[in-house]
């Protein structure tokens, strides 16, 4: 079969499928007009809903809160300010310059593209708990794209458990 005839045959088959669908082909209904609707079988096993990010009083919860903040910072998403303790050293630092909302909103514009990519793909695998605080060193940050150095972010993050959520304080 030549290429030209294969293209013609494919076009005819494609047109035929559309004609069947438009002219009363099998539409999934039954003879009396009722529709067959797929419903997922009910499960007797209930699944536990995952809690809101950063609200588990565990190291994993602290990591999740920091990761959510860094992803949001890369995107300029001001909703991540909930992960920052108001009035903390972190707010007063060079990244946020005293105002979390303005600092996060301007972050995508002040970061280099490679830093922004790294923050957007960052995951956190280490750290330790110390009472009501979690300490996450730079060495615990891993990213799939871009490039980060300690000077791009900071050497360690300190989060404190307060008001039912992990918040960055340093």
Domains and CATH numbers, the chain: 59-168 (3.10.450)
Task: Report d(CA 114, CA 3) in Å as an integer.
Answer: 46
pLDDT tier at 170, thresholds 50, 70, 90: very high
pLDDT of residue 13: 53
- Tracing tokens 């559309």 back to the chain, one arrives at 18
- pLDDT tens-digit series, residues 89-142: 999 998 898 999 999 999 999 999 999 999 999 999 999 999 999 999 999 999
Rg (CA), the chain: 26
pLDDT at 83 over 60: yes
pLDDT of residue 47: 47
Of 84, 87, 170, 100, the closest CA to residue 135 belongs to 170
Q: On the CB side of 123, how many CA atoms lie within 13 Å of its CA? A: 4
pLDDT of residue 159: 97
pLDDT of residue 11: 57
**Is residue 105 within 8 Å of residue 129, measured between CB atoms?**
no
CB atoms closer than 10 angstroms to residue 27 = 9
- pLDDT tens-digit series, residues 19-59: 555 555 455 455 555 555 545 554 444 445 555 777 788 99
Angle of helix 113-120 relative to helix 59-75, nearest 10 degrees, comes to 140
């Amino acid at each position: 079969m030549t290429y030209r005839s294969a293209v013609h045959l494919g076009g005819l088959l494609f047109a035929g499928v559309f004609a069947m669908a438009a002219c009363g082909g099998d539409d999934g209904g039954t003879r009396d007009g009722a529709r067959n609707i797929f419903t997922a079988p009910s499960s007797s096993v209930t699944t536990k809903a995952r809690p809101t990010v950063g609200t588990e009083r565990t190291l994993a919860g602290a990591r999740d809160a920091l990761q959510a903040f860094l992803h949001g910072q890369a995107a300029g998403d001001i909703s991540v300010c909930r992960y920052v303790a108001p009035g903390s050293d972190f707010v007063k630092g060079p990244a946020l310059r005293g105002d979390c909302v303005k600092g996060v909103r301007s972050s995508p514009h002040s970061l280099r593209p490679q830093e922004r990519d790294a923050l957007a793909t960052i995951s956190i695998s280490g750290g330790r708990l110390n009472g009501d605080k979690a300490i996450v060193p730079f060495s615990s940050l891993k990213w799939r794209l871009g490039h980060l150095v300690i000077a791009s972010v900071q050497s360690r993050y300190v989060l404190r458990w307060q008001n039912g959520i992990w918040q960055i304080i340093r």
